[in-house]
Structure 1
Amino acid sequence: MKITLVIPTYNEAENLPNLLKALFSLPLPDLNVLVVDDNSRDGTGEIAEDLKKTYSGKLDVMHRAGKLGLGSAYIQGFAQLLAGDSQAIGQMDADFSHDPAKVVELARALETSDIALGSRYVPGGSLDKDWPYWRKALSTFGNFYARTILHLPIRDTTGGFRLWRRETLEAMPLERVRSNGYIFQVEMAYVAYKLGFHFTEIPIYFAERRFGQSKMSLRIQIEAALRVWSLRGQYRDLKVINK
């Protein structure tokens, strides 16, 4: 199965080379990566281009004009890959918050499901042990909030470590996905749920980033809280599709 991971980057020069080394060391011979770089000031895009020589034919880079947002990075990445021959398309952070080794388990889970999710909130999953209590509480509440309002059947609604079957993404109205912060993850999960796709959650340990600064902000958190309510109306027309 040809798997391609979409990895958005903005100032990840310290993380990207080590992440790619770890990913391409996995026992997945047909694993590929598409880096979507938002004109990083630290040269991440140029580093990614240079690494294409090391990982010839397995690494591609999309360069964008500026910091255009997480959601649009994934949507553009998905669109490019759906025009190609990838059989599974994944998403993960560039900062080692997601353990690269878990891609193997996600790929195995995708054999019997439509979407495989790395989950912090199923048995065996957890958040960074050094996070303060308030941060863990905020993350837990955010998931409970979205899950309850949207009646989602998954525990981790906001996680960004996912692997999608090609056919799943092809069936989703990606042109209607408008969220551009971390609520993007909730919106994508909700659309898949409304269409009747099957999820499998794989427990993961969500680690604090190794280098660089978090992209989370108050604006992103407010967007997430407000957008959850609007999703129900936006997608009220979606029905379970025949698969």
Structure 2
Amino acid sequence: MVPQDHTLARSGLLVLLPTYNERSTLPATVSGILHAIPTAHVLIIDDGSPDGTGQIADELASDPRVEAHHRSGKQGLGTAYAWGFQEAVDRGYRFAVAMDSDGSHQVSELPALIAAAEAGAGLVIGTRWIPGGTIVNWPWYRRWISRTGTAVARIALRSQLRDLTSGFRVLDTRWISRLDLAALDSEGYAFQVETAWTLERLGCPIAEVPISFIERVEGHSKMSVGIVWEALRGVLRWGWRLRFSAAPLAITDTQRGGGA
């Protein structure tokens, strides 16, 4: 469990790193974050990794800027981020960063995303499908799945965002607090689509910053047919709500009533 009086509380920036079997990549990711943003704090959320990632996380937590939280079993990326976002809000952080722990997201690009958030964006998305964005070492079918999925989501959700599935993000906790995190019903990567689309519909100022996504060279990708199907099913369901439901958004009661 996370101690409530941990020294990481009440800082400006909390980087959330959900992990499952990432012992070979996690140390370099954490080291890179702290080198790029020395004032950042890192919260590792491990889903009971059988490969010993949790032990590595505990060792990294010897640095007072790093904290490890252990969950019992694989509960999904979405629930890890929902829990982490709530921690960021409750502890008074100004920004929460979502990023992969496998080295696919380049830590060197994090300052640019943070700068966009500091300039006023409530959500900053590290975007692959805009000028300046690139993907390295993806086979053609992964590119096709990503581009097709993004196109379908944009049409179904009437979204202007160009990379709804990107997992490299900075969020202002004042906008996170407007979300009803318990109502977000995605367990996997569809959580990225659901949160971005919900914030877009709420009028959140969103910036898309080009990034270079590099396919992991160690460990194994978590992408699967089941994950793709969950995202597609979610997009179609949300698109239906958008058109035919009176309350399609996962927003707080205060926000639903028109409050700030």
TM-score, shorter chain, exceeding 0.5: yes
- For structure 2, the 5+ residue unaligned runs are 1-10, 250-255
Whether the aligned pair in 1 keeps the contact of 2:44 and 2:69 (CA below 8 Å) is yes
Cα displacement string for residues 25-79 of structure 1 (whole angstroms, at most 9, x for unaligned residues): 01x34211110000111111111111111x21x1111100001101001111112
CA–CA distance in 2 between the matches of 1:165 and 1:156?
19
Query: What SS class does the counterpart of residue 201 from structure 1 fall into?
Result: strand
Q: Does 1:83 align with 2:90?
A: yes
CA–CA distance in 1 between the matches of 2:60 and 2:68?
10
CA–CA distance in 2 between the matches of 1:70 and 1:38?
9
CA–CA distance in 2 between the matches of 1:123 and 1:131?
18
Cα displacement string for residues 91-118 of structure 1 (whole angstroms, at most 9, x for unaligned residues): 0001111001111001100022111110
- What does residue 4 of structure 1 align with? 14
- What does residue 135 of structure 1 align with? 142
- What does residue 112 of structure 2 align with? 105
- What does residue 59 of structure 2 align with? 50
- What does residue 5 of structure 2 align with? none
- 1:34 maps to which of 43, 49, 57: 43
- What does residue 126 of structure 2 align with? 118
The two structures, once aligned, show a CA RMSD in angstroms of 1.7
TM superposition score normalised by structure 1: 0.94
Cα displacement string for residues 167-222 of structure 1 (whole angstroms, at most 9, x for unaligned residues): 01001111110101111100001110111101100101111012110111111111
Q: How many residues align?
A: 239
Whether the aligned pair in 1 keeps the contact of 2:150 and 2:163 (CA below 8 Å) is yes
Query: What SS class does the counterpart of residue 86 from structure 1 fall into?
Result: coil
CA–CA distance in 2 between the matches of 1:16 and 1:187?
26
- What does residue 158 of structure 1 align with? 165
- 1:171 maps to which of 133, 155, 178: 178
Q: Are the structure 2 counterparts of residues 101 and 41 from structure 1 closer, same or farther at C-alpha, using a change threshold of 3 Å?
A: same
Partner AA of 2:44 in structure 1 = V
CA–CA distance in 2 between the matches of 1:149 and 1:241?
26
Query: What SS class does the counterpart of residue 153 from structure 1 fall into?
Result: coil
Whether the aligned pair in 2 keeps the contact of 1:90 and 1:164 (CA below 8 Å) is yes
- What does residue 68 of structure 2 align with? 61
- What does residue 31 of structure 2 align with? 21
Q: Are the structure 2 counterparts of residues 206 and 42 from structure 1 closer, same or farther at C-alpha, using a change threshold of 3 Å?
A: same
Partner AA of 1:114 in structure 2 = G
Cα displacement string for residues 148-170 of structure 1 (whole angstroms, at most 9, x for unaligned residues): 11011210000000000010100
Cα displacement string for residues 101-153 of structure 1 (whole angstroms, at most 9, x for unaligned residues): 1110011000221111100011100212x322222111111111111110112
Shift of 1:85: 2.1
- 1:70 maps to which of 74, 77, 82: 77
Whether the aligned pair in 2 keeps the contact of 1:195 and 1:240 (CA below 8 Å) is no
Partner AA of 1:122 in structure 2 = I
TM superposition score normalised by structure 2: 0.88
- 2:198 maps to which of 191, 198, 212: 191
CA–CA distance in 1 between the matches of 2:53 and 2:127?
28
Query: What SS class does the counterpart of residue 124 from structure 2 fall into?
Result: strand
